[in-house]
A and B are shown apart, each in its own frame.
Chain A
């Protein structure tokens, strides 16, 4: 049995690895340099007083600190004129400008020379000259087509910078660039091998060692943030799953009794209707009806009540927590009961048609006894399958419920991370939930063999 479980566990690893790798690579490929704009914006007040050079320095040190100056993967394939260090160029507008030049002219060296000569001319100007020429440089940093570059260069003498060496240099660089245009160079791919010193390798080895990185928002380690959030979510999920299963089994047993035809006619359609209300709507309805002053205020609205519950005995604390947890748990339970109950009811009614159930009835057992002693164990099997599906699904439910009731748990963490584009946290949450699901599948396997010894023999 242990061997079988181990094998199942190892088999689930490739899919897990594939998913996590995909999410990591996508997060970097699609977003450029995540977090950079936030860092610079947050410190905008400080840096805007400083020079452009100071800002560039901050950007570079940010890249180095987060390891984003390294290549993304073991190898990269790029259009041949685009150099590998493009993402190190600081103002984003310059990056786009350079990229356009590379692709259009196909010669990285000449483009770099042209760009460097613009910059050296800009730096050589005195402050008064610079403010006068601001508009001209803004245009220069945007023009890429040959005609408009020629036009812009032709305007140089009229501006009277008085700095002939730099002007001449720029003119020569522009002429060289325009002459040696290789317009189709971008069609040739260029393969680069980076070795193990890349972002993915470092991230992955860190993850294997249990280091999930640092949040881009507040610089705290992701594992610390996750730990606090999981502790909250865990209790909600655990309580709701226990409640949902208990209620569903009780309901299923009630419904399968021969005398409860009327009950069936009421309960099954009701469950069907509850099932068609999306979870966020259900949560909102409960919130509006039961926790706002405009209607009935039976429950506290938001949060977990940590501040109120700081003192007091554990019983007092528990009662306060219970008030705060009541509505979220009710939502999660209501969201899961319809499916669970109908499944359990169906498997009960299927089992009750079988021979062994009839035999038990013929021996004189009451319907209740037949259900408890004979049918229950056999209906456990499908319920276990659903359990392994429901546990991870509850995390998705927690995303919605926690956002609405403002509970500082995993779901809300995910939503906040998504809104703030905090990639290390997003990846960590995805990874954690995927691992959680793998574990819950294993758990289901163990439960299977406990509920039905035949499976144990078949596996071993």
Chain B
């Protein structure tokens, strides 16, 4: 962590573009945080029907529209500010979640490989049963109950049953099964193979197409869309974490820690993880840029997000009803492109820096 801060400071002093990009992102984040107390005169979904397609710097019914309005008289400047907020509110949690998922899958695939993890047949059986229980009592029942609109107590019952079943499986079924010779036999779990096949299945179609397909099955909702993003963005982190773990596994210091008898958890979190932090941060920033672009693209196409969702893409889409309204493309587009540029620049410099250190 200290090393990371030192690296960042060094980059800040050496690279001018890094400085510009980082301060742009910093200012943008500051604006987003300070948005509730900023003196913005319109709300992003407020219609000013007297002043539709108003040019920049024209007066509105309240305060002037600094950057013009769109087809329904929504203020472009306010929409850019709030659009930035929703873009980051989607992309940060999604990337945190999918980075976590990718790290867990990638590191375990790289560390255990196809032969490193030995499990007894009993454990596999119990895990499968537990998954089935979770799917039924933890997913199917609650979701159906929400759909039918029955009182909440039904859901609590189902979750209670789930808890009891899981406890039973772990405390009673597993020890009992292990007494049986056949079930106690241990075999190698091909974890690496499984993770690789899973990543392959998720990447065998371009991400945009996969997301379009998945989105079409659901009602437009920001939360569901974030879930779909998270479910499709873990693959790059997983691949990277797997490759890094394979590399680190063979380094002398790691073998030394291993032979000193460090626990597996300690090995992975204290020795492997810090060493791959650099590349992970690079992918993180890079993927955030990708997510921003993807979110705007989907809002531009009007797919997967409700019409009230404030986004740069939604404002840009206004150009389709009036191709002369250049301000609908130029300002939000500039905001989008600059943000993506800044994130990519940061990740580019970080990458160069980490690579030159190796």
Decide if B329 touches A396 in the complex (CB within 8 Å). Answer: no
Decide if B217 touches A292 in the complex (CB within 8 Å). Answer: no
Distance, CA A12 to CA B203, complexed state (A)? 12
Count class of interface residues, chain B: 35 or more
Decide if B197 touches A399 in the complex (CB within 8 Å). Answer: no
A90 within 8 A of B: no
A-B contact count, CB below 8 Å? 158
CB closest chain-A residue, reference B207 = A396
Decide if A276 touches B341 in the complex (CB within 8 Å). Answer: yes
* Chain A residues near B161 (CB-CB < 8 A): 187
Distance, CA A402 to CA B210, complexed state (A)? 17
Q: Which of B110-118, B140-148, B167-175, B249-257 contacts A (4 or more CB under 8 A)?
A: B140-148
Shortest Cβ distance from A140 into chain B, in angstroms?
Answer: 17
Specify which of A79, A104, A437 is in contact with B204 (CB 8 Å cutoff).
A437
Decide if A288 touches B329 in the complex (CB within 8 Å). Answer: yes
Decide if A272 touches B207 in the complex (CB within 8 Å). Answer: no
Decide if A278 touches B148 in the complex (CB within 8 Å). Answer: no
B86 within 8 A of A: no
A 14-54 binary contact with B (CB < 8 Å = 1; else 0): 11101100110011001100000000000000000000000
* Chain A residues near B202 (CB-CB < 8 A): 19
A434 within 8 A of B: yes
A 97-110 binary contact with B (CB < 8 Å = 1; else 0): 00110011000000
A429 within 8 A of B: yes
A 376-389 binary contact with B (CB < 8 Å = 1; else 0): 00000000000000
* Chain A residues near B297 (CB-CB < 8 A): 278-280, 400
Decide if B329 touches A276 in the complex (CB within 8 Å). Answer: no
Decide if A100 touches B206 in the complex (CB within 8 Å). Answer: no
Shortest Cβ distance from B76 into chain A, in angstroms?
Answer: 15
* Chain B residues near A273 (CB-CB < 8 A): 337, 341
B333 within 8 A of A: yes
Q: Which of B28-36, B59-67, B316-324 contacts A (4 or more CB under 8 A)?
A: B316-324
Given known contacts A15-B200, A418-B212, is B333 in contact with A100 (CB within 8 Å)?
Answer: no
B215 within 8 A of A: yes
Shortest Cβ distance from B347 into chain A, in angstroms?
Answer: 11
Q: Which of B120-128, B149-157, B236-244 contacts A (4 or more CB under 8 A)?
A: B149-157
A77 within 8 A of B: yes
B 196-218 binary contact with A (CB < 8 Å = 1; else 0): 01001110111111101111111
Specify which of B137, B141, B209 is in contact with A399 (CB 8 Å cutoff).
B209
Specify which of B141, B212, B319, B345 is in contact with A79 (CB 8 Å cutoff).
B141
* Chain B residues near A12 (CB-CB < 8 A): 200, 204
Distance, CA A99 to CA B209, complexed state (A)? 34
A91 within 8 A of B: no
Shortest Cβ distance from B258 into chain A, in angstroms?
Answer: 32
Decide if A79 touches B324 in the complex (CB within 8 Å). Answer: no
* Chain A residues near B319 (CB-CB < 8 A): 284, 288
A433 within 8 A of B: yes
* Chain B residues near A310 (CB-CB < 8 A): none
* Chain B residues near A284 (CB-CB < 8 A): 316, 319, 329, 333
CB closest chain-A residue, reference B160 = A187
Specify which of B149, B218, B293, B340 is in contact with A100 (CB 8 Å cutoff).
B149
* Chain B residues near A276 (CB-CB < 8 A): 289, 337-338, 340-341, 344
Decide if B150 touches A280 in the complex (CB within 8 Å). Answer: no
B158 within 8 A of A: yes
Decide if A278 touches B323 in the complex (CB within 8 Å). Answer: no
CB closest chain-B residue, reference A419 = B303
Distance, CA A433 to CA B329, complexed state (A)? 31
Shortest Cβ distance from B335 into chain A, in angstroms?
Answer: 11
* Chain B residues near A392 (CB-CB < 8 A): 205-206
Distance, CA A227 to CA B296, complexed state (A)? 30
Q: With A27-B217, A280-B313, A429-B213 given, can you name 11 additional A-B contacts, CB distance below 8 Å?
A: A14-B197, A26-B214, A30-B218, A31-B217, A100-B150, A103-B144, A103-B150, A272-B341, A281-B337, A396-B209, A437-B204
* Residue positions of B touching A, CB distance < 8 A: 136-137, 140-141, 144-145, 147-150, 154, 157-158, 161, 197, 200-202, 204-210, 212-218, 289, 293, 296-297, 300-303, 313, 316, 319, 323-324, 326, 329, 333, 336-338, 340-341, 344-345, 348
Nearest 10 pairs between A and B by C-beta?
A276-B341, A396-B206, A278-B293, A396-B208, A15-B200, A294-B324, A30-B217, A418-B216, A15-B201, A292-B323
